[in-house]
Structure 1
């Protein structure tokens, strides 16, 4: 029983005492290697959709670029799993140390960043956006109903850019951090202003996820899942409103609750 066709897999399904054989669509997982200025930079295991968004967002999150026009050229070989990026500037990728832990302080607070590049790229958020509790419920429901890949496979995470009353763009991936990088890449390439935007998310809020939200410059993160303690410490420090366990008509507000209002008339004054 190993007949695989495209992203379908032959399965045996039991429903009570009823047995059936059918094709089940499953999430695709594939490694992609980034060649940056002719040198191997990183390999990302991902869902092979919106790959240019993913690559641009990943480079921005890692502090390699700040703007899309810093990239001279980008080409993607989907079949072999390689992407080739040439920057306008010279860059010795081996000087970028992504593995060294860093613990520092700022403004009297202890920012426990794991990696040195986070120190350069994480932002304190000053967004004046506000949103109502009911709008959080509506946006989370929209995220789940609009995600075609999740509906088909149940095997991907979703991240959406939204205003306080509607979903604008959704990106999906087997990796929750990849979904955010795809979203970030879309934002950078289209020069989208984020002062009146928030992110709606399906995955667990780890410190890595929280830092990606900070690097994007978003002030509100609404998630279906749970946060970690380090993520909340960073969110409190960096000025990010974290909402977790947004399910049905329930949610938890963990940090900076001043952006969440009980009435339906949320504003987006900047």
Structure 2
């Protein structure tokens, strides 16, 4: 059996939403919900790395996905313990992997355009030179089926708004499966959580579709490329750098996707239009 780290949670999981009283345009008092954003400081072998703002839905997957995507750790077999402590708002990751490179990596930081202020460390792009995701075709009908399946999610957004949702999906001959879905205050946190789950579950991304409610920035495209997922689906738009990187990595980028509408920004040759009337 493959090794998995020991997960220790020293306190109960925090609430995702909080009921508050608001006044509407007629002066009437209503009860609404707000998303519960909170800090989570990541420590790697007790060395402070970064503080994320998060809902904290699946913190162990979030911190492991973040550390892996930033190339701070890479060996699942050497992970020993993940300690989540909401009393101190901290997540400590203990590994026997060599982390002597940590200080040097932390010196080079790029603040990205991710909502909640995403951050990329070190030479992540250099490690992706000449990298290509698997080249996989996707049917128009499977895009529609995936979007339909996703309408049953977004619970926190429906209750409180102010969050993004991301999902790892699969679809074959119109049968869509949402492998995992997560919401967070920043879409970069959500994608790191999903990356951590794939890693912990020893799953690969070559046969998956990645969905996000947020825009496709360079950071989002890089993280999806690191997961090895060939198709990126977004309800929102795409930035110029995000599109350039998607083309570089060979990712099929489908944006403005909602209902029976979508726009293919890269990888057009990978899309098979099989729905009569070409509804897109």
Q: Which interval holds the TM-score relative to the shorter structure?
A: 0.7 to 0.9
Aligned length: 245
Task: After TM superposition, give the deviation of residue 100 of structure 1 in Å.
Answer: 5.5
Q: What displacement does 1:125 show?
A: 3.0
Q: Is the 8 A contact 1:162 1:169 kept in 2?
A: yes
Residues 27 and 156 in structure 1, CA contact (< 8 A), matched pair in contact too: yes
Structure-2 separation of matches of 1:19 and 1:171: 35
Aligned to 1:263: 274
**Structure 1, 213-222 or 135-144: larger mean CA deviation:** 135-144
Give, in whole Å, the separation in 2 of the partners of 1:256 and 1:47.
33
- The one of 246, 260, 264 equivalent to 1:249 is 260
140, 144, 153: which is aligned to 2:147? Answer: 140
Question: What is the Cα deviation at residue 98 of structure 1?
Answer: 5.8
Q: Deviations over 1:199-231 (max 9, x none)?
A: 011100000110000111111001000000011
- The 5 A counterparts of 1:55-70 are 55-70=63-78
Are residues 100 and 53 of structure 1, via their aligned partners in 2, closer, same or farther at CA, if it must alter by over 3 Å? Answer: closer
Q: Is the 8 A contact 1:198 1:218 kept in 2?
A: yes
In structure 2, distance between residues paired with 1:98 and 1:133: 44
How far apart are 1:20 and its partner, in Å?
2.9
Q: C-alpha distance in 2, partners of 1:98/1:140?
A: 41
- The runs of at least 4 consecutive aligned structure 1 residues that moved more than 6 Å come to none
1:145 aligned counterpart, secondary structure: coil
- The equivalent residue for 1:32 is 40
Match in the other structure for 2:30: 22
Give the structure 2 partner of residue 13 of structure 1. 24
Q: Which residue of 1 aligns with 2:62?
A: 54
Residues 29-78 of structure 1 deviation map (CA, whole Å, 9 limit, x = unaligned): 11110111121111111111100010010011100122432312110101
Instruction: Give the equivalent residue in structure 1 for 2:11.
Output: none
- Structure 1: gaps spanning 5 or more residues: 1-5, 102-112, 265-270
Matched, 1:195 2:184: no
Per-residue deviation, 1:168: 1.4
Partner SS state of residue 124, structure 2: helix
How far has the Cα of 1:123 moved from its partner?
Answer: 7.2
DSSP-derived class of the 2:24 partner: strand
Partners of 1:201 and 1:122 in 2: CA distance: 25
Which deviates further from its counterpart, 215-224 or 120-129?
120-129
1:210 aligns with 2:216: no
Is the 1:97–1:116 contact (alpha carbons within 8 Å) kept by the matching residues of 2? no
CA distance in 2, matches of 1:161, 1:126: 15
Q: Which runs of 5 or more residues in structure 2 are unaligned? A: 1-16, 111-119, 276-280
- Equivalent of residue 120 in structure 1, options 117, 124, 127: 127
Q: Distance in 1 between matches of 2:38 and 2:28?
A: 29
Alignment deviations for residues 78-126 of structure 1 (CA, whole Å, 9 cap, x no partner): 122011111112313212146357xxxxxxxxxxx99513322577234
- Normalised to the residue count of structure 2, the TM-score between the two structures is 0.81
Contact 1:245 1:252 in 2 (8 A): yes
In 1, Cα distance between equivalents of 2:253 and 2:170: 16
